[in-house]
Structures are given as structure tokens and as C-alpha cells.
Amino acid sequence: MKKSARSNKTESTWIVGAHIVTQNAKRDVFLGNIQIVDGRIAKITKTTKNAPKNIGKNTRVIQAQGKVVLPGFVQAHIHLCQTLFRNQADDLELLDWLSKRIWVMEAAHTHETLKTSALLGIHELLSSGTTCILDMGTVRHTSAIFEAVRDTGIRASVGKCLMDHPKTTPPNLRESTRDALAEAKLLHKIWHGSQDDRIRVSYAPRFVISCTEELLSEVARLSREQDAIIHTHASENLKEIQMVKKLVNCENIEYLDQLGLTSKNLVLAHCIWLKPNEMELLRRSGTHVVHCPSSNMKLASGLARVPEMQKKGINVALGADGAPCNNNLNIFGEMRLAALLHKPGNGPKSMRAQTVLDMATRDGAKALGWFDDIGSIEVGKKADLVALDLMQPENTLPAPALFSARKSGPKSTDTDRLREAIASSIVYSAQPSHVEWTMVDGKQVYDRKKGVNAIARAALVKQVHKAQLEIWKKIQS
């Protein structure tokens, strides 16, 4: 698939009167307007007035008075292939959860059921403010996920799941090393950079247990050659790391480092059970970690030492993981839980609201290698934005913060008050129902009144039930 051609017609939009949470280096927050031209942010103006002057006749104007506009959320660990399995894999620890439920259902996917699963997940993600994801597919039919991403407008890096180990993988999901890598490389050739670089392709070995040394070494080589993201799980579960030690005679991160995988292009989900030297390997190599608090609690896996990693300079992003181990994909639940879980052991200031908001925007974009284009609201970056209505009975921005924002020439203390109030409101109190609209590349892909543009909700529910029954019948046969 070739990169999509841009139209010769200039598309211009103004978002006016919003509380803009820039998430830039200074974390500036102010009342203002945003101009978008051809999908990128062209101008940002500070003003207490509703609209800028000299708006052209063909320019679209989005009124955002009373709304908070911030960068779209980035989730750095998602399994769209599992969304159909929601509420069907509860109360199990990781390895039983995989072998007794998830792998059985993943193996039953067809191209059609997988696309339905991806559409279902994307609907939830867009409607709850997530505009960009790093997704790990299953072994087969990965093109179905790319098609769903293409059709819905979400930004995504997607990787075919790689599982080739002859002793530790189920036969119905196992591939030969050659076949697994050949398809992964073909997907990269077809899809990487398509849709004006809205779609990228990563390499996704499931975890050390499921992959041969030959496969992992070749993935490391491909990543260096193509500057491609590697997306895998690591040190999520105690039994898992015991198996790794038995298989390769060293710790998880040590093994990945020996094979040349640790780098700025490696994104590791979970990283709960790390030895001190493994944490140092992550820091030294620039490897990224994804914190998945809901999943880690539900599978009884443990609690990642996120404050410690952040103090060492390790970049930590957020992700909901898959629907069957969460059982939601909305970022608000992950932010709230991430902010709360670490306080009892590390103190009330260990995970401030602003720190968690950074994880869900800036740090996620950095993990995916997309920070030059997304993760903050700055001139030149792509207009991946979300608007929140934080003036609801259950989540109302404090009056002193709003009053300070309306004053001309606000003092730094006034700005700090507004910044802290908004971060607190987003991380601790916001809900998916507060999302007014979601935008990717300057196009509104979700609106609270209209829903997700590319997905008919009623038809999707019918499609989901049909796909679930098809998988269930295949498993029973």
C-alpha cells in the first residue's frame, strides 16, 4: 500500500476559546485558540476573546468555550485482537489465562472476526480520548487490524505477534521462524508509513518464552536496519521469569540485552519483576517501559516500581493492555489507578497528577518514536487532540483556577493553580463520558453526539455477537 496522496485543497480549522493544555516542555496552560492547516498545528494564540480575527470564509470553526483541549492520549500497550474476549477470561493468573483462554480464542480468529475485534476496541479507544496506540496482534490475519486502523482514523503502530518456539507455544498458534518473519517483513513493506504516516509497523515477539533465539536475534537486526519499534512483554509474572531463567539461564532483560534488543526502539510491557541490574540495563539502553496497572492487578501479577524507574530516567508510558485482562480500554481508569497505586509505598507525592498526565501523552509518544509529531500541542505538530468537558457535577474545575485563567497577564502562581487543577481533574476525576470530541490529523474522528465517524454503533454490536458466536462454535467443535 502506497502512502496516501494529500489533496491540493488546503484544509483549515480554528479551535477557539479553549483551555489549552499544551503539554509542552513548560507544561503551559492558558485560554486560547488553535489554528490547524492540513492536519498540523499552524498557530496557537493566547487570548481571553472567543475568536481570532480574519478567519477565512472556508475555514471551519470549532467552538470550545468551557472545554479543555489537550494532546490525544497515547496508549503504548494494546491488544485489539482480544477485545471480543472481554468478560470471558476472569480470575486467572497470566500463564493459565493465556493457555486456558486467550490462546485458544486467538487461534479461532478469522480475518472477519479479527477485524470486528479491532473495530470494537478502536470504538472504545476513540470515544475515550485515545488517539494513538501501540498494538500487538495475534499470529494470523494481522492485515485485518491494519484495515480497521485505516478505516477508523486512529493513529497506530501495529505488529504481528511472533510465536515460533517448538516447546513452549501451542501448536495452533505456532509458526516456523521463517514464515513468521517473512509475514512480519511483508506487513512492514505494505503498511509502514501509509495514510500519511498515520500507520506504522512494529515487530512484536510475544515474550521470551514463546520465541526462539533465532527469531529474537533477527528481530533485533530488522529493528536496527529499519529503525523499527520492537514491542514485547517482559517480567510480568513470577512463573514467567522462572521459566525464562530455566530456558536461557539468565534473567529476562539480561537475555534481551545479550541478543541486542535493548535500545530506544524497544518497548517492554509490564516490567514488574526486575532485578537491579536489569533496571540499569533499561536505563542505559534507553529502553521504554509501559505500565499497565489494571491488567497487573487483575491477573495478580504484581506492581511495577514505576517511581523508581522514573527517578532513574527510564521513560514509562501507560497502556490498558487487552480487554480480557482489564476489562476496559479507557485511559482514564489507567491514569487514576497509576496515580493511586504507588502512593502507599512511596508517599503521597510519588505520582503527581501531572506526572501521570505526562505518561499518557508525552511519554507514550516518546515510547512510540512519534514525539516529533504528537504528544504535545505545539506549532508544527500533528493535530491529534481531545476536548474534555470538565464542567460536570461529578468533575467541576475549581472556581479559583478558572478565575485566574480569565485574568489578563496571569502571574505564575495563577498559571500553576490552573495547571494543577486541570491535571487533577483529568487524572483523578475524568471519565470517558467527559470526552467532547477526538481529533487525529486535524479530523474529528469522534463526537459525543454523533459517535465514532467510521463505525455504526448498532451494526457493530450485532457484528460483535456474530463474531463471538463464530469463535465459540469453532472452539467447541
Tell me the CATH number at 212.
Answer: 3.20.20.140
Nearest-angstrom CA–CA distance, 22 and 71:
7
Give me the pLDDT at residue 402, please. Answer: 73
Cβ atoms 170, 210 nearer than 8 A: no
Kindly state whether residues 108 and 65 are assigned to the same domain. no
Kindly state whether residues 266 and 319 are assigned to the same domain. yes
| pLDDT, block means (10 residues), the chain with 477 residues | 54 93 96 96 83 75 95 98 96 94 96 98 98 98 98 98 96 96 98 97 97 98 98 97 95 97 98 97 98 98 98 98 97 98 95 98 98 98 97 87 61 74 96 97 96 93 96 92
Kindly state whether residues 444 and 431 are assigned to the same domain. yes
Segments forming the whole domain that contains residue 387: 12-71+377-450
Cβ atoms 318, 334 nearer than 8 A: yes
* Residue keyed to cell 521462524: 177
CB neighbour burial string for 56-70, b if at least 16 within 10 angstroms, e if fewer: eeebeebebeebbbb
Kindly state whether residues 197 and 279 are assigned to the same domain. yes
The CA-based angle 107-232-120, given to 5 degrees, is 50
Give me the pLDDT at residue 358, please. Answer: 98
Handedness of CA 256, 265, 70, 413 (dihedral sign): positive
Give me the pLDDT at residue 418, please. Answer: 87
- Rounded-to-5 percentages of helix, strand, coil across the chain: 45, 20, 35
- Residue 19, domain CATH: 2.30.40.10
Answer yes or no: is 469 within a domain.
no
Nearest-angstrom CA–CA distance, 285 and 261:
9
Nearest-angstrom CA–CA distance, 376 and 355:
14
Give me the pLDDT at residue 407, please. Answer: 59
Give me the pLDDT at residue 413, please. Answer: 58
Kindly state whether residues 280 and 300 are assigned to the same domain. yes
Q: What is the largest CA-CA distance in the chain?
A: 70
Give me the pLDDT at residue 4, please. Answer: 47
Name the β-bridge partners of 234: 270
Cβ atoms 140, 102 nearer than 8 A: no
Give me the pLDDT at residue 410, please. Answer: 46
Nearest-angstrom CA–CA distance, 461 and 317:
31
Kindly state whether residues 46 and 67 are assigned to the same domain. yes
Query: Where is the domain boundary, 367, 399, 422?
Result: 367
Amino acid at 191: W
